[in-house]
Structure 1
Amino acid sequence: MSPDTNKRNSPPPIVFIITIGLIGFGAYKFLPGLLKGKNLNTPTSTSTWATSGSGGIANRISLGNQILLTSQTTGAKQAGVQAFAKGDYQAAVQNFQDSLQQNRNDPETIIYLNNAIIYLNNATASNGSFLKIAVSVPIGSNPNVAQEILRGVAQAQDEINNIGGINRAKLQVEIVNDDNSPEVVREAAKTLTKDPSILAVIGHNASNASLEAAPIYQQEKLVMVTPTSFANNLSGFGSYIFRTVPNISLMAAPLAEYVVRTERTTNIAVCYDSQAPDNISFKDEFVASLTAAGGKLVPTVCDFSLPSFNPESAIADAVSKGAQGLMLAPHIDRIDRAISLARINRGKLPLYGSTTLYTFQTLKEGQKDVDGLVLPVPWHPDTNPGSRFPENARQRWGGIVNWRTATSFDATQAVIAGLRQSNTREGLQQALRNASFSTPGSSENVKFLPTGDRDGKPILVQVKQGGSTGYNFVPLR
């Protein structure tokens, strides 16, 4: 399993109407998620609160009653969701376990297994036997990235449930497919805030998605912890908004300094995506740091979001204006445009990139054209000698995980630690906002600054030959 792994989803909707007056959410067997539930026998992800006035949003939400990652479908997994939908949790558990025997690195199945086990092992809601959270990821638009995030959540859920849960309450996780689409994200956020059993949301992925959802979560007082959104606009957004990545200025500055002081490259052209808030922020911070370090921005027009984007013209323009290097900052769903630019470049200009480019897609499709690309990341498996997380993840998933899995694990760990102090939305928010809050993460402890940003520092990595694709991201020593 490489920096990004392949999987997809989008299945049929299933509606559940709860009888006994209590709403519950499914739990899963292997990975982390936090939920506060009521009726352990009846999942709420497709109950009336999720479907009323929400159009097709119920098709995008699942505790285990439908498959969202369709590329990860097995016959046993299909049988598992059918059993889950009928309330036959014993059969669901068996089928999900059988599916994992065939495909162990499917995080959706692990989450569904954990959710089914929760329902199977608990007969009533009165014992407070589970807590519930949601995770929102772009399954339809970027299944690789979605699975990277789900793996981190799943691993945290599994670890906490295997040691008895949070103050004896198991963690339940609901999966949402938001496609990084602002319209879908708005509907998903409104739907999640209306379910009183959901205590936190892990997500969203792209900054434009998180910025769309954040006002809704803030107004309705539901904690959001994004593991992957870097946009400056999220810093200090609100008291319920957190992220487990550092401020973008901390990510961009080391790259700019490396370009000027180590590689002695001063004239840099920039290609970015004007519709990606995180990469706008990265571009702005990179340019500011580049100038401060003695470098110079080469004035070119290169915008990955434009329909008229032309990689040949972009490279020709940069070279004609004296560029000595090229910094690429694409939207996560438009990485193919950055790769096309690298392909046209053919090694003429050294390449640098934003954190977004750390993907399996970059390596698989870029190959020799991205050889030597340098970019910053908040975490790398080879730079955490004292942490058990990288090896635990490798054993669980059968391969090396990347920074998105690590920061998603950290986001879930933070929520778990906060729920140990209080299992209410307000209590969780107060725990995370406390200046003394700290909990072990995938490497360093997870701590939040008053802005809600992660207290941390980046690692510079470079694409070099090796790995399953022929190339890999290797830390710069």
Structure 2
Amino acid sequence: MYQDTNKKNSPPPIVFIIAIGLIGFGAYKFLPGLLKSQTSNTPTSTSTSATIAPGAIANRISLGNQILVTSQTTPDKQAGVEAFKNGDYSIAIQNFQASLKQNRNDPETIIYLNNATASNSSAVKIAVSVPIGSNPNVAQEILRGVAQAQDEINTSGGINGAKLQVEIVNDDNSQEVVKEVARTLTKDSSILAVIGHNASNASLEAAPIYQQEKLVMVTPTSFANNLSGFGSYIFRTVPNISLMAAPLAEYAVKTAAQTNIAVCYDSQAPDNISFKDEFVASLTAAGGKLAPTVCDFSLPSFNPESAIADAVSKGAQGLMVAPHIDRIDRAISLARINRGKLPLYGSTTLYTFQTLKDGQKDVDGLVLPVPWHPETNPGSRFPENARQRWGGIVNWRTATSFDATQAVIAGLRQSNTREGLQQALRNASFSTAGSSEDVKFLPTGDRAGKPILVQVKQGGSTGYNFVPLR
């Protein structure tokens, strides 16, 4: 979620804009840095349907030579990209700086500005792969964390004197595209690590390639159980999904006294399959039980009216929803039909502005776990630094992406080779400052950490907000 804090007479920072998918995914209305609003009842199976023509990968990768986030375009940014493409880095720098004066809430431009600044000096390079075409708002949430970490290290002297360059890649959360992205990045010996991918189905496609070719991957947002212990080059800056699901199940049974819970999940989203499985196991362990319903957001036949009627007829006292990141609209439609009859619980995926904006009173009271929240980190400078930089409050995806980049930076301080970086991150004593707690990795590659339960309550720019449960 992104909330602006600019003064009243400033131009509204959140406006509906058109983001053009690079390979024809169509246009989506969205808010910068927030998940797009989907209105179709047809599943947007971007995770499996996208294809890529031979050689087309070049149109998805940019160090500063092309604009990928087309919604965040200004004439100055376009001029900066042209100058960068021509090797006129001083002109590119001037244009990128001018663009940021018009729109500071543009992580792509900050990354390109840093890349241009580093082009005439020694530099180390990493990549970040995000779903710009299929989910531009989530992509920008991730890019903000990476951009903030890059800007901070470069303005403080770099990594052992070398500035950090970040290559941006648009993978659309598509399994086919992701595989080609991974193959391309592993073949580029100048790339020392990859921050990404977003959805677990994307990360699971890429991970075998990175592991085989020995290139570090640090995903800031993929929760699927299958990634835990996947390989020695695979890391993530979110906790294991069992740690995220257990507190939610325990809250439902022990605090809310709701022991019979129905579940609606997405069978095409590995992270939410994992969340569902861990939630049910924890629910049973806490003394609750699963209402015997069948509800799958990924099915073309998904019907919210039938799903709610079935859950009520089976005696459900609550409903846990776990949608794919690109099918949140279906979870909202379910909440709308529910109309508050069943208390709602959700997976971490649902922490988006779209949930609040489109859900409104129908998601009031929704409880879900997140790995980070700005209000629970009073001793950290990151939330305030982020607010000043972006003009608003950032969410957990930005924080965990910042942490992933911080981990890679700390590892590169020890060694600027792929193998040396991997060994640094795998070291049991590895630790570096993050957005809240220090970033440490377990032997499985998972982040050592604990979740925070939040609840939708009235307040905020949409009329509703995610508030930590005290």
CA contact (8 A) 1:268 1:297 kept: yes
Match of 2:227 in 1: 234
Q: Percent identity?
A: 90
Q: CA deviation at 1:427?
A: 0.1
Q: Name the stretch that deviates more: 211-220 or 127-136.
A: 127-136
Change (3 A) 1:124 1:468: closer
CA contact (8 A) 2:346 2:368 kept: yes
Name structure 2 gaps, 5 residues minimum.
none
Q: Deviations over 1:409-453 (max 9, x none)?
A: 000000000000000000000000000000000000000000000
Change (3 A) 1:297 1:35: closer
Change (3 A) 1:458 1:421: same
Q: Name the stretch that deviates more: 462-471 or 275-284.
A: 462-471
Q: CA deviation at 1:3?
A: 6.7
Question: What does 1:9-28 align with in structure 2 at a 5 Å threshold?
Answer: none
Change (3 A) 1:300 1:74: same
Equivalent-residue separation in structure 2 for 1:133 and 1:392 (angstroms): 23
Query: SS of the residue aligned with 1:172?
Result: strand
Q: Name the stretch that deviates more: 52-61 or 251-260.
A: 52-61
Change (3 A) 1:36 1:424: farther
Q: Name the stretch that deviates more: 447-456 or 62-71.
A: 62-71
Q: CA deviation at 1:84?
A: 1.1
Equivalent-residue separation in structure 2 for 1:406 and 1:159 (angstroms): 14
Q: CA deviation at 1:17?
A: 34
4+ runs deviating over 3 angstroms: 3-54, 117-128
Q: CA deviation at 1:76?
A: 1.1
Match of 1:179 in 2: 172
Whether 1:421 and 2:414 are equivalent positions in the alignment is: yes
CA contact (8 A) 1:249 1:282 kept: yes
CA contact (8 A) 1:25 1:44 kept: no
Q: Deviations over 1:250-296 (max 9, x none)?
A: 00000000000000001100000000000000000000000000111
Query: SS of the residue aligned with 2:4?
Result: coil
Change (3 A) 1:15 1:316: closer
CA contact (8 A) 2:265 2:321 kept: yes
Q: CA deviation at 1:315?
A: 0.5
Change (3 A) 1:409 1:7: farther
Q: CA deviation at 1:2?
A: 2.0
Change (3 A) 1:91 1:476: same
Change (3 A) 1:168 1:39: farther
Q: CA deviation at 1:123?
A: 12
Equivalent-residue separation in structure 2 for 1:330 and 1:43 (angstroms): 11
Whether 1:337 and 2:315 are equivalent positions in the alignment is: no
Change (3 A) 1:293 1:171: same
Change (3 A) 1:5 1:409: farther
Q: Name the stretch that deviates more: 48-57 or 360-369.
A: 48-57
CA contact (8 A) 2:35 2:135 kept: no
Change (3 A) 1:290 1:10: farther
Q: TM-score when scaled to structure 2?
A: 0.88
Q: CA deviation at 1:55?
A: 2.2
Equivalent-residue separation in structure 2 for 1:319 and 1:37 (angstroms): 28
Match of 2:405 in 1: 412
CA contact (8 A) 2:35 2:136 kept: no
Q: Deviations over 1:276-325 (max 9, x none)?
A: 00000000000000000011100111000001100011001101111110
CA contact (8 A) 2:171 2:181 kept: yes
Change (3 A) 1:125 1:394: closer
Q: CA deviation at 1:18?
A: 34
Q: CA deviation at 1:470?
A: 1.3
Q: CA deviation at 1:121?
A: 10
Equivalent-residue separation in structure 2 for 1:423 and 1:145 (angstroms): 29
Query: SS of the residue aligned with 1:58?
Result: helix
Q: CA deviation at 1:178?
A: 0.3
Q: CA deviation at 1:106?
A: 0.5
Q: Name the stretch that deviates more: 230-239 or 119-128.
A: 119-128
What value does the CA root-mean-square deviation take over the aligned residues? 9.2
Equivalent-residue separation in structure 2 for 1:45 and 1:307 (angstroms): 11
Change (3 A) 1:67 1:43: farther
Number of paired residues? 470
Change (3 A) 1:131 1:6: farther
Whether 1:156 and 2:149 are equivalent positions in the alignment is: yes
Q: Deviations over 1:368-426 (max 9, x none)?
A: 11111000000000000110000000000000000000000000000000000000000
Query: SS of the residue aligned with 2:455?
Result: strand
Change (3 A) 1:35 1:253: closer
CA contact (8 A) 2:15 2:31 kept: no
Q: TM-score when scaled to structure 1?
A: 0.87
Q: CA deviation at 1:209?
A: 0.2
CA contact (8 A) 1:343 1:366 kept: yes
CA contact (8 A) 1:40 1:122 kept: no
Equivalent-residue separation in structure 2 for 1:223 and 1:474 (angstroms): 35
Q: CA deviation at 1:120?
A: 9.9
Query: SS of the residue aligned with 1:54?
Result: coil
CA contact (8 A) 1:10 1:67 kept: no
